[in-house]
Amino acid sequence: MYSCAGSRTCEGRPGSRGYEFHDARTYASWDIDYLKYDFCNTDAQKAEGAYKTMRDALFAAKRPMVFSICEWGSTEPWTWGKNVGHLWRTTSDIMNCWDCKVNWGGMGWTLIMDKNADLGRYAGPGGWNDPDILQAGNGVLTDVESRSHFTMWCMMAAPLISGNDLRFMSPAMKEILTNKEIIALDQDTLGKQGYRWWKLDGNIELWIKQLANNEIALCFFNRSDVVKTIDFDWNRYFSNLNGKTYGITGKMIIRDLWLKKNIGTTSTNLRAEIQAHDVLTIRLIK
The CA-atom distances, in angstroms, between 267 and each of 58, 91, 234 are 53, 40, 7
Active site residue 38: yes
Active site residue 93: yes
250: which residues sit within 8 A by CB, 6+ positions away?
A: 286
Q: Which position among 56, 93, 99, 256 bears the catalytic label?
A: 93
**DSSP states of 203-231:** TEEEEEEE-STT-EEEEEEE-SSS-EEEE
Cβ-count burial of 145 within 10 angstroms (0-12 exposed, 13-18 middle, 19+ buried)?
A: buried
Amino acid occupying residue 122: Y
Q: Which position among 38, 132, 186, 278 bears the catalytic label?
A: 38
143: which residues sit within 8 A by CB, 6+ positions away?
A: 170, 172, 173, 176
- Rounded to whole angstroms, the Cα distance separating 21 from 44 reads 20
Q: Are strands 66-69 and 195-201 parallel, antiparallel or unpaired?
A: unpaired
Q: Are strands 270-274 and 2-4 parallel, antiparallel or unpaired?
A: unpaired
- Rounded to whole angstroms, the Cα distance separating 26 from 20 reads 10
- Rounded to whole angstroms, the Cα distance separating 55 from 20 reads 9
Residues annotated as part of the active site: 38, 93
